[in-house]
């Protein structure tokens, strides 16, 4: 197998019932490096959202079966994922209501793809700036991985994996933010801060070593995946074959 890394783009859920928009978005967003999933009505949107993690949601207001507003409410019960509402020109839009139910931004059809992508990147940046969580528990667990924060020990399926200081810090940050893209800047800032010297490869070298320690196939990682051009993510889904 020649695949080097399990690279993915940012995962976007496009909720849209107009075929012409769906087609244009699929092509345009994929070209921008996004992994695009599509739901064509409100119920499907909620189903798809629950089935796997997404980094951002593009949500049309007028949808068959369940309105965009209700989809937004349903997603907000479970997630802080950035949501961009899409409305048609002339549609009555209650901005206050939309913000109240947790939408992050909105665009009006027809829009230019370039404008849409800029909005998406902006909400992602804002979202990134607001969190990621700082560990508060003394034990952090995710799937087969467990960290004893106070004792600085890492376990994989109950077996100890010896980590160096920075590797442990990286692992902790990822376990505290499962399924979430952590950008290179955030990882470097949180783990190294002003200690970060040398070239930008330092982070990759550490990720590579972590993979050799915890991945069954480090060249085709199931836990720590690369998000193309952005950073890394700890996968929440079970690796295939389990």
Q: How many residues bind Ca ion (CB under 5 A)?
A: 3
Phi-psi region of 90 (alpha: psi -120 to 50; beta: other; left: phi over 0): left
Q: Are 61 and 67 in contact (CB under 8 A)?
A: yes
Name, in order, each residue with C-beta under 8 angstroms of 89's C-beta and a sequence gap of 6 or more: 108, 109, 110
Handedness of CA 29, 234, 104, 87 (dihedral sign): positive
- Which range of residues in 56-64, 70-78, 79-87, 99-107 is near Ca ion by CB under 5 A? 56-64
Q: Are 151 and 144 in contact (CB under 8 A)?
A: no
Residue 235 binds Ca ion (CB under 5 A): no
Least distance (Å) between residue 150 CB and Ca ion: 52
Least distance (Å) between residue 108 CB and Ca ion: 13
Least distance (Å) between residue 67 CB and Ca ion: 10
For Ca ion, the closer CB: 18 or 105: 18
Name, in order, each residue with C-beta under 8 angstroms of 120's C-beta and a sequence gap of 6 or more: 12, 56, 58, 82, 84
- d(C-alpha 32, C-alpha 164), whole Å: 36
For Ca ion, the closer CB: 19 or 137: 19
Residue 44 binds Ca ion (CB under 5 A): no
Least distance (Å) between residue 16 CB and Ca ion: 7
Residue 17 binds Ca ion (CB under 5 A): yes
For Ca ion, the closer CB: 62 or 118: 62
For Ca ion, the closer CB: 20 or 130: 20
Burial tier of 117 (Cβ tally within 10 Å: 0-12, 13-18, 19+): middle
Residue 62 binds Ca ion (CB under 5 A): yes
- d(C-alpha 134, C-alpha 214), whole Å: 22
Out of 44, 60, 104, 176, the only residue in the binding site for Ca ion (CB under 5 A) is 60
Name the residue with the smallest CB distance to Ca ion: 62
Positions that interact with Ca ion (CB under 5 A): 17, 60, 62
């Amino acid at each position: 197998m020649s695949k080097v890394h399990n690279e993915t783009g940012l995962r976007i859920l496009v909720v849209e019932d107009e075929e012409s928009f769906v087609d244009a978005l699929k092509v345009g967003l994929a070209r921008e490096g996004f992994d695009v999933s599509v739901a064509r009505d409100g119920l499907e949107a909620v189903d798809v959202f629950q089935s796997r993690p997404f980094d951002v949601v593009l949500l049309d207001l007028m949808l068959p079966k369940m309105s965009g507003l209700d989809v937004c409410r349903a997603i907000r019960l479970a997630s802080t994922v950035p949501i961009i509402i899409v409305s048609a020109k002339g549609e009555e839009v209650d901005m206050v209501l939309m913000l109240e139910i947790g939408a992050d931004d909105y665009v009006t059809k027809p829009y230019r793809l370039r404008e849409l992508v800029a909005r998406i990147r902006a909400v992602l940046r804002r979202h990134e700036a607001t969190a990621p969580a700082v560990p508060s528990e003394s034990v952090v667990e995710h799937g087969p991985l467990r960290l004893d924060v106070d004792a600085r020990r890492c376990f994989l399926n109950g077996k100890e994996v010896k980590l160096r200081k920075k590797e442990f810090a990286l692992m902790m940050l990822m376990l505290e933010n499962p399924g979430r893209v952590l950008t290179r800047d955030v990882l470097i800032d949180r783990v190294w801060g002003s200690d970060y010297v040398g070239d930008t490869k330092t982070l990759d070298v550490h990720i590579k070593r972590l993979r050799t320690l915890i991945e069954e196939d480090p060249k085709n990682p199931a836990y720590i995946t690369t998000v193309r051009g952005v950073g890394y993510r700890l996968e929440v889904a079970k690796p295939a074959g389990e």
